Structure 1
Amino acid sequence: MTTDTGGALAPTRAERLDRLPYTRQHHRLLVGSGLGWALDAMDVGLISFVMAALALEWHLAAPTLSLIGSIGFVGMTIGAGVGGLMADRLGRRRVFALTLLVYGLATGAAALSWSVAALIVFRFVVGLGLGAELPVASTLVSEYAPRRIRGRMVVFLEAFWAVGWILAALIGYFVIPAFPSGWRWALAVGIVPTLYAVVVRYGLPESVRFLEAKGRTDEAEEAVRRFESSPPILRRVRAPREVVTGVEDIRATSIWARPLARRTAALWIVWFTINLSYYGAFTWLPTLLLGRGFTLTRSFEYVLLITLAQLPGYLAAAWLIERWGRRLTLAVFLLGSAAGAVAFGLVSTVGHPAVGAVLGAGAALSFFNLGAWGALYAIGPELYPTRLRGTGTGAAAAFGRIASILAPLSVPVFLAWGGSANGYLVTFSVFGVAFLVGAAATLLLPEQRGRTLAR
């Protein structure tokens, strides 16, 4: 609180934002950030379909395909850490726009790849931009969201990931099989983010908390007043059952300082396990279905149907996160993901698996896994003070990306462990165990539902 001219305590800008209803400005921020998020997901999703096409067109073996799938995540690991640091120094909006520009140009260039080596280089640069964008976008939305619905807004932001992945599946299904070297046309679509970068740079607001931290109080006040004067879309929102008063004042100068070390360690574990399982499963999914005897077109069709289950998973997580809280929602969806992974491994072990069983198990994995992602992105920015928020979320994402590098490389190894009979069961059982470890680590995170973001 601050003191006004009459001697009374006036609310801070952060408190004024927390008390707002959901306005048109919030909606504009959510959709604007979400479109960038969807373009990110589209790019990540496309590579799984490109891998399946290249396996046939360039006659690539599993180790080479693994490298193509993993190299982007090497870039994402570096990008997530660097992007978070840059966001705390240069601003959320500026870094968000820069990341869109980088990975959009690199994806368009990847369509011109003349060799495996060239494709690997372009995919690495793509990863730099992709990795930096995600923690920056979630931090920006979290810092503007009213306290009552902050978790829900971030989950809805993450739901745009499903939109992007569905777009990737549609492009994979309709474009790649329709043309010679159709994967090139699919990647060429990825240049769209370069155009959208201009919208982000000039159409979205900068974080009020960042502006205050940099002493740009006039700009911060103008941004708050813009949201206060914006017409409400939802005037009344059900408040969380327990609203915690007061603001957590964390004086730490490092995410590993004593007040933050435990939550940082737990967050990193969850990030690692969910990345390992998600990217191990979904990066290889079209290729794995090919290995079960389905045609390229059928494999892409089934992946598209499985991907559609992501949207209700996000919606369920968005509803539950303000009713159950962050920890319980995340833990339940991770447990559901573990069950879905093991079920998919079991049905895929059959020589000629029933289509309904494959789609059902895959849809369950998709539903719970992506709901867990939504809850995870809501939790991260709430754990750190403003001066460390971008760094903390970016560092956790960077650590998780190590698992996303290992995951595509590990799938051929897991398949070999199980042999021709049980390779799929072994592979997806490993992913199931990883989900269980992540669910256990969730219990070490503080519950932040109803709290104002820490100073």
Structure 2
Amino acid sequence: MIFSSIWCGFSACTSRSCVLVTLGFFRFALGVGIGGDYPLSATIMSEFANRHTRGAFIAAVFSMQGFGILVSSAVTMAVCVVFDRATGADPVGETPQEADLAWRLILVLAAVPAGLTFYWRMMMPETARFTALVEKNVEQAVRDMQGVLAVSLAQIAEEEEETLSPNPASYPLLSGEFLHRHGRDLFACAAAWFLVDVVFYSINLFQSNIYSHYLPKHHMSVFEEAFHVAKLQVIIAVCSTIPGYFAAVYLIDRTGRVKIQLTGFFIMALGLLAIGIPYKNFWRNTTNMGFMVLYSLTFFFANLGPNTTTTFIVPAELFPARFRATCHGISGAAGKLGAVVGSVGFLRASTTGEGMAAALVILGGICVVGMAVTYLLTPETMGRSLEENE
């Protein structure tokens, strides 16, 4: 993650076709790093938490994504202000050469939080459940847990039946036994993550079309335009995205994973249909705040529901310690396949009003499919001990 962030900023060439090839390669490398960290963050938190507050702790970790969006937008705004003042770019002129340096600097700065994460992660011991159940070193697991939580083993134990299982899963991942025991759960996680990412990445893709109605109407330099787009992202994050994450933290261990996932998919479907069906005649060329409210509610309920449960919490709670991070990663890969399908499939739709209307209605239908997958296949993990998976 550290080196790939730096390499993205040093993508060779300045011509569009050349820089996209090298940037694409370095973004692939960055994806490998993020793909490794994503399931680890959820798994580490789930294995250090108890059954009663586990959902809130995992959701709290995931909520930092909202602050990451906020900080990234703030960094973009700051860089644009500095470059705009330094270059005095002509709003109606050609894109200044300095713009090529600005976007590279924004990407390189991502190495800073990645470096801090690496340092703190290296200071952490392996989780006690993995050490005891997979590495078979119970004494080390006890010492690690006592060191992390600064309490005695007697205080760590939740209930008698939650002590570490002496007979953890011994069958391999690619086996009939695994499919028999966990195949349905893995399919439920992967399918729900695929569906939510089709919707989530598609509505993010539409932002350029949507934000264009709310940007200043006068001619702007490239730095001014990027600044105003980032400002709109800050507004969405503060008013919708971050509150959705915190609502998930509050509700996840009170109402359960399945209920808030169903609710999230349902409200997302309603919001997208309310935007999509009358889009051509009502929303297409308007700055009506009603559109922005419905659009923001889609993000709020996505983060309150499926974007938190399917992509972070449930996959970290359903599988044995031996497979937990791997199955989370497989589900994540399915989700990113959904992101590709959504981005490529709806790219053309985002350029025309008719296409936007149809795409939004289809995305609403996909949310309905997500509800069906949640209701029929996703098990409730609230209050469930991780040792039950063994």
TM-score range, shorter chain: 0.7 to 0.9
Structure 2, unmatched stretches of 5+, are: 14-18, 84-97, 217-224
Take 1:229 and 1:160, find their aligned partners in 2: how far apart are those partners? 25
Task: State whether structure 2 residue 67 is matched by structure 1 residue 134.
Answer: no
Residue from 341, 356, 359 that aligns with 1:406 = 341
How far did residue 172 of structure 1 move?
3.1
TM-score of the superposed pair, with normalisation by structure 1: 0.68
What is the identity, as a one-letter code, of the residue corresponding to 2:8? A
What is the identity, as a one-letter code, of the residue corresponding to 2:309? A
Residue from 264, 280, 285 that aligns with 2:186 = 264
Take 1:347 and 1:307, find their aligned partners in 2: how far apart are those partners? 26
Q: Residues 181-330 of structure 1 correspond to what in structure 2 (within 5 A)? A: 181=99, 182-212=102-132, 213-227=134-148, 229-230=150-151, 253-254=172-173, 256-285=178-207, 287-289=208-210, 291-292=212-213, 294=215, 296=225, 297-308=227-238, 309-330=240-261
Q: Match of 1:12?
A: none
Alignment RMSD (CA, Å): 2.8
Residue from 289, 302, 308 that aligns with 1:369 = 302
Take 1:127 and 1:316, find their aligned partners in 2: how far apart are those partners? 28
Q: Match of 1:105?
A: 3
Task: State whether structure 2 residue 331 is matched by structure 1 residue 331.
Answer: no
Relative to structure 1, is the Cα distance of residues 198 and 396 closer, same or farther in structure 2, using a 3 angstrom cutoff? closer
How far did residue 246 of structure 1 move?
6.6
What are the Cα deviations for residues 296-322 of structure 1, in whole angstroms up to 9, with x where unaligned? 344332222112211111121222221
How far did residue 346 of structure 1 move?
5.5
On the 8 A contact 1:252/1:260 being kept in 2, the answer is: no
How far did residue 120 of structure 1 move?
1.4
What are the Cα deviations for residues 210-258 of structure 1, in whole angstroms up to 9, with x where unaligned? 1112123332111122245359xxx9xxx9xxx9977998675437521
Relative to structure 1, is the Cα distance of residues 378 and 385 closer, same or farther in structure 2, using a 3 angstrom cutoff? same
Q: Residues 384-423 of structure 1 correspond to what in structure 2 (within 5 A)? A: 384-415=319-350, 420-423=352-355
On the 8 A contact 2:199/2:366 being kept in 1, the answer is: yes
Take 2:191 and 2:36, find their aligned partners in 1: how far apart are those partners? 19
Aligned with 2:179: secondary structure?
coil
How far did residue 293 of structure 1 move?
7.1
Q: Residues 152-191 of structure 1 correspond to what in structure 2 (within 5 A)? A: 152-176=56-80, 178-179=82-83, 180-181=98-99, 182-191=102-111
Relative to structure 1, is the Cα distance of residues 172 and 431 closer, same or farther in structure 2, using a 3 angstrom cutoff? farther
What is the identity, as a one-letter code, of the residue corresponding to 1:310? T
Aligned with 1:220: secondary structure?
helix
Residue from 409, 413, 427 that aligns with 2:359 = 427
Q: Residues 10-49 of structure 1 correspond to what in structure 2 (within 5 A)? A: none
On the 8 A contact 1:344/1:428 being kept in 2, the answer is: yes
Take 2:366 and 2:229, find their aligned partners in 1: how far apart are those partners? 26
What are the Cα deviations for residues 89-142 of structure 1, in whole angstroms up to 9, with x where unaligned? xxxxxxxxxxxxxx2221222122222222111111111111221111101100
Aligned with 2:380: secondary structure?
coil
Residue from 378, 382, 386 that aligns with 1:449 = 382
What are the Cα deviations for residues 63-88 of structure 1, in whole angstroms up to 9, with x where unaligned? xxxxxxxxxxxxxxxxxxxxxxxxxx
Q: Match of 1:16?
A: none
Take 1:354 and 1:298, find their aligned partners in 2: how far apart are those partners? 15
How far did residue 441 of structure 1 move?
0.7
Q: Match of 1:353?
A: 286
Structure 1, unmatched stretches of 5+, are: 1-102
Relative to structure 1, is the Cα distance of residues 333 and 360 closer, same or farther in structure 2, using a 3 angstrom cutoff? same
Aligned with 2:109: secondary structure?
helix
Relative to structure 1, is the Cα distance of residues 324 and 119 closer, same or farther in structure 2, using a 3 angstrom cutoff? same
Aligned with 2:330: secondary structure?
helix
How far did residue 148 of structure 1 move?
0.6
Relative to structure 1, is the Cα distance of residues 189 and 396 closer, same or farther in structure 2, using a 3 angstrom cutoff? same
On the 8 A contact 1:284/1:408 being kept in 2, the answer is: no
> Percentage identity across aligned positions?
21
On the 8 A contact 1:306/1:362 being kept in 2, the answer is: no
Take 2:287 and 2:161, find their aligned partners in 1: how far apart are those partners? 54
How far did residue 198 of structure 1 move?
4.0
What are the Cα deviations for residues 37-80 of structure 1, in whole angstroms up to 9, with x where unaligned? xxxxxxxxxxxxxxxxxxxxxxxxxxxxxxxxxxxxxxxxxxxx
